[in-house]
């Protein structure tokens, strides 16, 4: 087999590992360099210019910003955006490696490694093409269940979407309020342009006016150039203000004035700029209560809720769990280069028994982790690593307790097998304490 014309840089402080890889990797890759310390990493990157870095997760360094592997991964991705990084990790570091993939690592390989698997992962990383440009609009992930509240919500969305009515979306964190906003925009007459989204909670009070309304050069210390605000960017399309309840009371009047006048004035300027927007807001707060308590302006509240849509939590939309899980599976299988194609029936039943206190966002994270850790083409119950306590809370004192205990026992047995009886790793993977695990093992005679 011919060598790939690729450069591999190995960063590992174990001399034995470096010696083994010094023999193995040149058999498949044209140029290989190995260093013992990440202190040499950046200078080596500038000189050697590798295509892929095989990065150990732990070193004897003075870095105190958290796990060394994650730190150096972040440094590499910040300085070399097109670089692919494969993490080299021990079994105990798998949770960190999963976090590393979420932060941009291509994949991870567990020590002791399989030569074929290691070469395959590095080859895939070398051959990865630059990502295609994303389409202007993200395809909708909105799944409409047949429950009465979601059926009524769907009817309302289809009715109001073609209009320019201002919409307030309420619901718990993670229920998909942003997805619903995108769905409304997708069905509107403004869908030809991308929706402009603003997370109000992430904007500090001092930058609020500049971010939303823009500023002119020299209007304040760091205003080195003119800046177009989000309202101007959204001219002719939809503006989505997420977490609207986080706007400080003293800034609500300025937002109200813009909405009333349908024009903005950049900070430091006197010229009024007309805007044509369709406004959608979202919050997980009780704005009516905030109005009563003097924390939210009543006139602004009525201005933003011409139509109010209440998005139910996922625990009230259980028939959406399987379709959503499969959507997330498809997305993450492509992202992480996994051959996972479906979810086992038992795993689906387990997903449907959960409370999902974090709603759709929690389900998404669960499937993402399962895709990363799965070893076959189907996600099984053991891959989900669902906390048994969540299952108990969901069906507490119900007639389904016996089937729940069967599911819990299977999850624990699978974890014990996967981690070869290492109780610390088993407890960590199930997100329970060791004493709780001891009690479960005793209960099920494991």
What is the tens place of the pLDDT at every residue in 241-292? 999 999 988 889 999 999 999 999 988 888 899 999 999 999 999 999 999 9
Residues whose CB is less than 8 angstroms from the CB of residue 276 and which lie 6 or more positions away in sequence, other chains included: 235, 236, 262
pLDDT per residue as tens digits for the range 337-385? 888 999 999 999 999 988 898 999 999 999 999 998 888 899 998 888 8
Please check whether residue 166 is in contact with residue 189, taking contact to mean a CB–CB distance below 8 angstroms.
no
What is the distance between the alpha carbons of residues 378 and 154, in angstroms, rounded to a whole number? 32
Instruction: Tell whether 33 and 94 lie within a shared domain.
Output: yes
Same domain for 187 and 105: no
On the question of pLDDT at 408 being above 60, the answer is yes
Residue 391's pLDDT is 67
Q: How far is CA 136 from CA 198, 238, 280, in A?
A: 17, 14, 19
* Domain final residue pick, 71, 97, 127: 127
Give the list of residues 6+ apart from residue 165 with CB closer than 8 angstroms, or none.
Answer: 306, 307
Enter the tokens of residue 173. 């964190």
User: Among 178, 173, 187, 171, which Cα is nearest to 141's?
Assistant: 178
Structure tokens at 309: 């849509």
Instruction: Please tell me whether residues 306 and 327 are part of one structural domain.
Output: no
CATH number, domain with residue 152: 3.40.50.300
In whole angstroms, how large is the CA radius of gyration of the chain? 26
Instruction: CATH number of the domain at 70, please.
Output: 3.40.50.2300
Looking up residue 415, the CATH number of its domain turns out to be 1.10.8.60
- Model confidence at 398, pLDDT cuts 50, 70, 90, reads very low
Share of the chain above pLDDT 90, in %: 45
> In angstroms, how far is CA 337 from the centroid of its own chain?
17
- Report the distance separating Cα 275 and Cα 263, nearest Å: 5
Residue 84 lies in a domain: yes
Residue 46 inside a domain? The answer is yes
Res 422: pLDDT? 85
Q: Are 321 and 277 contained in the same domain?
A: no
Is residue 174 located within the same domain as residue 270? yes
Which of 212, 216, 215 shows the shortest CA–CA distance to 196? Answer: 212
pLDDT tens for residues 127-173? 874 444 444 444 565 888 888 888 999 999 999 999 999 999 999 99
Angle of CA points 91, 95, 101, to nearest 5°: 110
Distance CA 218, CA 367 (A): 48
Lowest mean pLDDT of 23-37, 122-136, 422-436, name the range.
122-136
Mean pLDDT over 73-99 rounds to 86
Domain count, the chain: 3
| Inter-residue contact 203 to 243 (CB < 8 Å) | no
- Give the pairing type, strands 272-274 and 263-265: antiparallel
Per-residue DSSP letters for 363-425? HHHHHHHHHHH--SSEE-HHHH---HHHHHHHTTTSTTHHHHHHHHHHHHHHHHHHTTT-HHH
Average pLDDT over every residue of 224-252: 90
Q: For residue 58, what pLDDT is reported? A: 84
Cis check: omega of the bond before 293, within 30 degrees of 0: no
Instruction: Tell me, yes or no, whether 378 lies in a domain.
Output: yes
| pLDDT 10s digits, 304-334 | 999 999 999 998 888 889 989 999 999 999 8
Please indicate, yes or no, whether residues 168 and 285 belong to a single structural domain of this protein. yes
- 390-417: average pLDDT: 66
Are 292 and 396 contained in the same domain? no
Residues 227 and 357 grouped into a single domain: no
CA neighbor of 187 nearest in space, from 216, 218, 163, 165: 163
CB 76 within 8 A of CB 105: no
Within a domain: 327: yes
Residue 348 domain boundaries: 315-444
Report the greatest alpha carbon distance in the chain: 76
């Amino acid at each position: 087999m011919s060598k790939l014309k690729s450069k591999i840089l190995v960063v590992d402080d174990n001399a034995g590992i470096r010696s083994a890889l010094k023999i193995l990797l040149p058999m498949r890759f044209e140029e290989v360099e190995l260093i013992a310390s990440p202190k040499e990493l950046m200078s080596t990157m500038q000189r050697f210019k590798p295509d892929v870095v095989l990065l150990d997760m732990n070193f004897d360094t003075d870095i105190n910003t958290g796990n060394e592997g994650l730190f150096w991964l972040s440094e590499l991705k910040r300085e070399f955006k097109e670089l692919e990084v494969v993490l080299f990790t021990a079994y105990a570091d798998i949770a960190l490696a999963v976090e590393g993939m979420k932060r941009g690592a291509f994949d991870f390989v567990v020590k002791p490694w399989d030569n074929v698997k290691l070469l395959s992962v590095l080859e895939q990383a070398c051959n990865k093409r630059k990502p295609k440009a994303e389409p202007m609009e993200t395809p909708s992930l909105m799944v409409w269940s047949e429950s009465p509240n979601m059926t009524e919500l769907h009817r309302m969305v289809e009715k109001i979407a073609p209009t320019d009515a201002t919409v307030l979306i309420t619901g718990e964190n993670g229920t998909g309020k942003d997805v619903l906003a995108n769905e409304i925009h997708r069905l509107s007459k403004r869908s030809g342009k991308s929706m402009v989204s603003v997370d109000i909670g992430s904007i500090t009070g001092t930058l609020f006016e500049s971010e939303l309304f823009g500023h002119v050069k020299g209007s304040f210390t760091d205003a080195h150039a003119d800046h177009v605000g989000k309202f101007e960017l959204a001219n002719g399309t939809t503006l989505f203000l997420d977490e609207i309840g986080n706007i400080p009371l003293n800034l609500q009047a300025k937002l109200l004035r813009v909405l009333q006048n349908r024009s903005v004035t950049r900070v430091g300027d006197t010229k009024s700029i007309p805007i044509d927007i369709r406004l959608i807001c979202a919050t997980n707060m009780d704005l009516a209560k905030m109005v009563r308590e003097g924390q939210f302006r009543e006139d602004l509240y009525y201005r933003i809720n011409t139509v109010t849509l209440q998005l139910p939590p996922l625990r009230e939309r259980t028939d959406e769990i399987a379709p959503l899980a499969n959507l997330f599976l498809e997305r993450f299988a492509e992202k992480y280069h996994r051959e996972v194609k479906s979810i086992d029936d038992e795993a689906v039943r387990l997903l449907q028994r959960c409370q999902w206190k974090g709603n759709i966002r929690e389900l998404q994270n669960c499937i993402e982790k399962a895709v990363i850790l799965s070893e076959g083409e189907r996600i099984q119950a053991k891959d989900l690593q669902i906390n048994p306590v969540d299952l108990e809370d969901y069906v507490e004192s119900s007639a389904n307790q016996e089937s729940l205990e069967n599911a819990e026992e299977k999850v624990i047995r699978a974890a014990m097998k996967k981690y070869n009886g290492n109780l610390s790793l088993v407890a960590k993977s199930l997100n329970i304490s060791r004493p709780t695990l001891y009690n479960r093992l005793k209960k099920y005679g494991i």
